[in-house]
Structure 1
Amino acid sequence: MKTISIVVPCYNEEANIEALAYAVKDIFKLRLANYRYELIFIDNDSSDSSRDIIRKLCAEDKDIKGIFNAKNFGQFNSPYYGMLQSSGDAVILMAADFQDPVEMLPEYVKAWEEGYKIAVGIKKASRENFLMYRMRSLYYKIIKKLSDIEQIEHFTGFGLYDRSFIDVLRRLDDPTPFLRGIVAELGFRRKEIPYEQPRRRAGKTSNNFYRLYDAAMLSITSYTKFGLRLATFIGGISCILSMTAAFVYLVLKLMYWDRFPAGMAPILIGMLFLGSVQIFFIGMIGEYVLTINQRVMKRPLVVEEERINF
């Protein structure tokens, strides 16, 4: 009998964990009876009662396992690490808040049995904030245009991954993994399954502007050369424009020496413009350097505090 591992990253999801565990067990009992399940909750240092609930579920069912991180290691490292700890023939990554519909699990398994090594969910609509969904759509289109690697629009990581792909992830040894980009770059033949993202069942999302910005920058610095190339182009264009303006001012001053006061305004405007351009691109280059630095340090993905039922 084949085993399907379900990996669920958690952070302050006390209102959802137990309900999700029972929903997954019901799906396997009613629609996936020919498969064994391994349900892994990896907790990213929750401050609520999430860990107590996971301990209770693990005590009730030995096929439910828990990993407790020593601290919060971020929204990318924790789920990636959880996938590497799975032992199933295939691994399904999903969120704890029910925004990744449990009902899609049989569809993923069906695609897997048809021969697809990867089956991913693509959000075609969302019942969450309309403006946020549109902003994400714009972001994906921009990244898709800028990246040399094919990018998957509205893909959050929710999907099924064959054991052979998990073995590829193990060999990567990447301390700052971006799963969405890795699937697009290194993934096997895949099937994309559209779905409508529902609202959170309960609780409050931990995503904020900083987390979304961090995700966007990781994607840009890992899979595009746009920032560095743009700095070069704009620097060259600014240099040409500045030299042209300086030459024009010199000619006009020589021709109309007494009637052409250069004044301070053009000088100040030019200095402020060039200064702001330099500061912006120093920050952009800093993002690339930060990504390089994180990879060079080779820190562990996470540090475990406790694991249960392994």
Structure 2
Amino acid sequence: MSEKKLISIVTPCYNEEENIDELYQRIVAVMATLPYDYEHICIDNASTDGTVRKIKEIAANDKRVKLIVNARNFGHIKSPYYGILQSRGDACILIASDLQDPPEMITDFIHKWEQGYKTVLAVKPESEESSIMFALRKAYYRFITRISEVPLVQNATGAGLFDRVIVDILRNIDDSYPYFRGLLCEIGFPIATVPFKQPRRQRGITKNNFYTLYDIAMLGITNHSKVPLRLMAMGGFLLSILSLLAAFGFLVAKLVFWDYFQLGISPILIGIFFFGAVQMFFIGLLGEYIASIHTQVRNMPLVIEAERVNFN
């Protein structure tokens, strides 16, 4: 009799004390309906509330629940990725611990996997979050899809299922700060999608802020597109041509209307501020690419662990 396949479920946590119990119970209920063994890996990003204590209490009674506690908060990009690399299942499922990725999607992920897909991603064409924020996210996804060197999955949340083949490939990719959704598309296997309407967070507060959202947005651009760099080169050339034409036009106007044509200070100030703004924008964008290179060159570990539970 063949052994059951193992499914690894990874749930990144940071100050999710109020959601852990329901998350665990819903995962147990879903997996009870499926013919697979499973491990539930909680990777905690140095929570400051009672999240770790609650997970330890659950893990003491259920050895399928495993815990990794990070030595410090390594951010929302590194920690989930590291958790996936620690899985040992035939497939690995990543879902958020805030319940905005409903655990019931696990069934849909596995059905797609059983059909032969090695990568399955959750996408949210609808959401109960702020309409302004949702519109900004959709606009960003459309933008990054247009400029990316590989086709990206629009409105992907990051939650999904990844076959062991994919996880093994990820282990061999030396990327200390990965844009995970883009990396999956670069690997090249066909990607199945599971659409869902993202519910509003019921308990706790979101850990995302302007900086974290900006960070992941710029990471997607710098890791997967050279278009901004090419636009800077072409834009600089175009502006130089326009500047020469403007200068020639002013020279001709002054020569023809010597006694009447006065340049004035306003066009000079406008030109200085405009070109100064363009230069600052270009320098800032170059800085993002250089910062991305700097992160890779340092080659720091994704995460430093402080503690492990139930991994023996």
Q: 2:109 aligns to what?
A: 108
1:23 aligns with one of 26, 40, 45: 26
Q: 1:226 aligns to what?
A: 227
Residues 79-94 of structure 1: matches in 2 within 5 Å?
79-94=80-95
Counterpart of 1:156 in 2: which secondary structure?
strand
Counterpart of 1:158 in 2: which secondary structure?
strand
**Which residue identity is paired with 1:235?**
G
- 1:257 positional shift: 2.3
2: CA distance, partners of 1:188 / 1:240: 45
2: CA distance, partners of 1:226 / 1:153: 19
Counterpart of 1:151 in 2: which secondary structure?
coil
Matched, 1:10 2:16: no
2: CA distance, partners of 1:261 / 1:157: 59
Q: 2:243 aligns to what?
A: 242
2: CA distance, partners of 1:246 / 1:295: 44
2: CA distance, partners of 1:261 / 1:195: 63
**Which residue identity is paired with 2:6?**
T
Counterpart of 1:55 in 2: which secondary structure?
helix
Gaps of 5+ in 2: none
Q: 1:68 aligns to what?
A: 69
- Aligned partners of 1:4 and 1:38 also within 8 Å: yes
TM-score where L is the length of structure 2: 0.96
- Aligned partners of 1:227 and 1:285 also within 8 Å: no
2: CA distance, partners of 1:237 / 1:52: 60
Counterpart of 1:124 in 2: which secondary structure?
strand
2: CA distance, partners of 1:160 / 1:262: 64
- 1:187 positional shift: 4.2
The alignment of Structure 1 onto Structure 2 pairs a total of residues equal to 308
Gaps of 5+ in 1: none
Q: 2:47 aligns to what?
A: 46
**Which residue identity is paired with 1:227?**
P
2: CA distance, partners of 1:256 / 1:199: 67
1: CA distance, partners of 2:203 / 2:118: 32
2: CA distance, partners of 1:195 / 1:251: 63
**Which residue identity is paired with 2:145?**
K
Residues 255-294 of structure 1: matches in 2 within 5 Å?
255-294=256-295
1: CA distance, partners of 2:264 / 2:190: 64
1: CA distance, partners of 2:275 / 2:125: 42
Pair 1:189–1:256, CA change in 2 (3 A): closer
- 1:233 positional shift: 1.9
Instruction: Give CA deviations for 1:95-124 in whole Å, capped at 9, x if unaligned.
Output: 001111111111211221221111221112
Residues 92-131 of structure 1: matches in 2 within 5 Å?
92-131=93-132
- 1:58 positional shift: 1.3
Answer with 185-194 or 267-276: which moved more.
Answer: 185-194
Answer with 252-261 or 38-47: which moved more.
Answer: 252-261
- Aligned partners of 1:98 and 1:200 also within 8 Å: yes
- Aligned partners of 1:3 and 1:88 also within 8 Å: yes
Counterpart of 1:152 in 2: which secondary structure?
coil
**Which residue identity is paired with 1:226?**
V
**Which residue identity is paired with 1:8?**
T
- Aligned partners of 1:175 and 1:299 also within 8 Å: yes
1: CA distance, partners of 2:46 / 2:28: 25
Same amino acid, percent of matched pairs: 49
**Which residue identity is paired with 2:222?**
T
1: CA distance, partners of 2:222 / 2:118: 27
Task: Output the aligned Cα RMSD.
Answer: 1.1
Instruction: Give CA deviations for 1:128-166 in whole Å, capped at 9, x if unaligned.
Output: 112211111111111111112101011111111100100
- Aligned partners of 1:118 and 1:187 also within 8 Å: no
- Aligned partners of 1:5 and 1:92 also within 8 Å: yes
- 1:57 positional shift: 1.2
- Aligned partners of 1:91 and 1:160 also within 8 Å: yes
